[in-house]
Amino acid sequence: MRLCSNTILAALLGGAALLAPAQPRPASTANAQTTPGQAPPLTVDTDPVRSPDAGPTPSLGPLRKQGREGYILRTDVEEVVLNATVLSDNHLVQNLTKNDFEIYEDGVKQNILSFQHTDLPVSMGLVIDNSGSMYKKRPAVNKAALDLVEASNREDQAFVVNFSDEAFIDQDFTSDISKLRDGLSHIDSRGGTALYDAIVASADKLAADAQRPKQVLVVITDGEDNASTLNLEQTIRRVQQLSGPVIYSIGLLYGNEMDRGEVRRARRALELLSSETGGMAFFPKNLNQVDEIAGEVARDIRTQYTLGYRSTKPTSIPGFRRVQVIARAKGMGKLEVRTRTGYYPNVRPKQTAESAQP
């Protein structure tokens, strides 16, 4: 299944995303059959359910309809849900209560309506660089990705995206480790690095198909984006528009393969993608550290607090809303809270009396 990258096949209208029709592969695989509810075989190449558009971008295609269902729109969700990690001196804090938290949106204190601190199952995308420079690194990276899944909640569902110039879903949502291993084994390391397109298309995939409300992307790459249609700002904006996943990044930026400028830009991009969504960016010094980092990511995901509130600002008001979460507990000193920095509301269009009539 090919995730749309260089050819964007949908347009964004106030946060709406469109289904794109499937595109057949060559005759040798185009006739493969699937049963209802079953993911297409890995030999079948289809376009994704969501395209990585994020506002004005080049090469936008026309709006497309999907069968009799018409245009597929995101449902309006008034409650804002935040997944938060709390640290004290870089150690996870796991004994806080609802009363220990405060949430501010654009500087205005919000009323916390829901609070959970349980090991919630997640829908996870494993987004793995498959460009030419990754060939020798993939065995160690694949092992770390599988170890991360095995260290996670048994009810988690994950999909595998391998990307170079384009992004491919080589395994759809599953909890089966053997299927994920097969998806990761599709190593065809060549071409460039369309990191941003792969992230946005994967976030759109989660928005469309995830069965778990908590969503995560784990991104592993060894270089700077050099092939995407989108830029970094558009990528972050699109993920925020989706109220999208927490992004954990692992940048394999060691060695002499890139100059200092490339390393600096690649590191900054991964740090921003992670910090803006509430995740973390890791930069191991060698491949041996990747497996340890995968375990840390799994622990972070499983120990987060989940808080929900209904914004005091009407949903009819557009624009980015900055969110701050503060945690305080007696005798615990200063606590660091890591969560997404904000979101774009799913704005409802104003309804006139004429349009409201059946």
62 pLDDT above the threshold of 60: no
Q: Report which residue type is found at 133.
A: S
Residue 27 lies in a domain: no
CATH number, domain at 174? Answer: 3.40.50.410
pLDDT in tens, 314-353: 988 999 999 999 999 998 999 999 999 999 998 655 544 4
Q: How many separate domains does the chain show?
A: 2
Q: 327 and 227 share a domain?
A: no
Q: 175 and 219 share a domain?
A: yes
What contacts 223, CB < 8 A, 6 or more positions away?
129, 131, 133, 193, 253, 257, 258, 262, 266
pTM of this structure: 0.79
Residue 32 lies in a domain: no
Provide the 10 A C-beta neighbour count for residue 112: 17
DSSP output for 280-344: -EE--SSGGGHHHHHHHHHHHHHT-EEEEEE-SS-TTS-S-EEEEEEE--TTS---EEE---EE-
Residue 297 confidence (pLDDT): 97
Q: 313 and 297 share a domain?
A: no
The answer to whether 80 and 304 have CB atoms below 8 angstroms apart is no
Give the highest mean pLDDT range of 20-24, 36-40, 100-104. Answer: 100-104
pLDDT in tens, 130-147: 999 999 999 999 999 999
Alpha helical stretches, state H, the chain: 27-30, 138-150, 177-184, 195-209, 232-241, 260-275, 290-302, 353-356
Q: 286 and 221 share a domain?
A: yes
The token duo for 42 is: 């890995």
Share of the chain above pLDDT 70, in %: 75
Q: What are phi and psi of 26, to 5 degrees?
A: -55, 165
The answer to whether 3 and 202 have CB atoms below 8 angstroms apart is yes
Higher pLDDT, 241 or 41: 241
pLDDT band at 257 (very low <50, low <70, confident <90, very high): confident
Residue 74 lies in a domain: no
Q: 100 and 205 share a domain?
A: no
Q: 281 and 221 share a domain?
A: yes
265 pLDDT above the threshold of 50: yes
pLDDT in tens, 147-197: 999 999 999 999 999 999 999 999 999 999 999 999 999 988 888 999 999
Per residue in 250-286, is it b (16+ CB within 10 Å) or e — as a string?
A: bbbbeeeebeeeebeebbebbebbbbbbbbbbbbbee
pLDDT band at 216 (very low <50, low <70, confident <90, very high): very high
Tell me which residue range forms the domain holding 332. Answer: 79-117+305-343
What contacts 63, CB < 8 A, 6 or more positions away?
10, 11, 13, 18, 71
Residue 40 Cα distances to 86, 178, 179, angstroms: 40, 17, 13
CA distance 310 to 307: 11
Q: 287 and 315 share a domain?
A: no
Residue 54 confidence (pLDDT): 35
Q: 151 and 282 share a domain?
A: yes
Residue 225 lies in a domain: yes
356 pLDDT above the threshold of 60: no
CA distance 86 to 95: 10
Q: 281 and 169 share a domain?
A: yes
Q: 149 and 237 share a domain?
A: yes
Residue 154 lies in a domain: yes
Q: Report residue 176 CA to chain centroid gap.
A: 20
pLDDT band at 89 (very low <50, low <70, confident <90, very high): very high
pLDDT band at 258 (very low <50, low <70, confident <90, very high): confident
Strand partners, 129: 163
Q: 211 and 227 share a domain?
A: yes
Residue 189 confidence (pLDDT): 80
pLDDT band at 254 (very low <50, low <70, confident <90, very high): very high
What contacts 260, CB < 8 A, 6 or more positions away?
none
* CA angle at 122 for the pair 206 and 157, rounded to the nearest 5°: 75
246 pLDDT above the threshold of 50: yes
Residue 284 Cα distances to 139, 252, 281, 295, 299, angstroms: 16, 6, 10, 13, 18
HSE value, Cβ hemisphere, 13 Å, CA-based, for 254: 12
Residue 145 lies in a domain: yes
Average pLDDT over residues 202-213: 95
Residue 49 lies in a domain: no
Average pLDDT over residues 219-227: 95
Q: 89 and 133 share a domain?
A: no
Residue 347 confidence (pLDDT): 65
Average pLDDT over residues 208-218: 95
CA distance 51 to 227: 16
Supply the mean pLDDT for the chain.
81
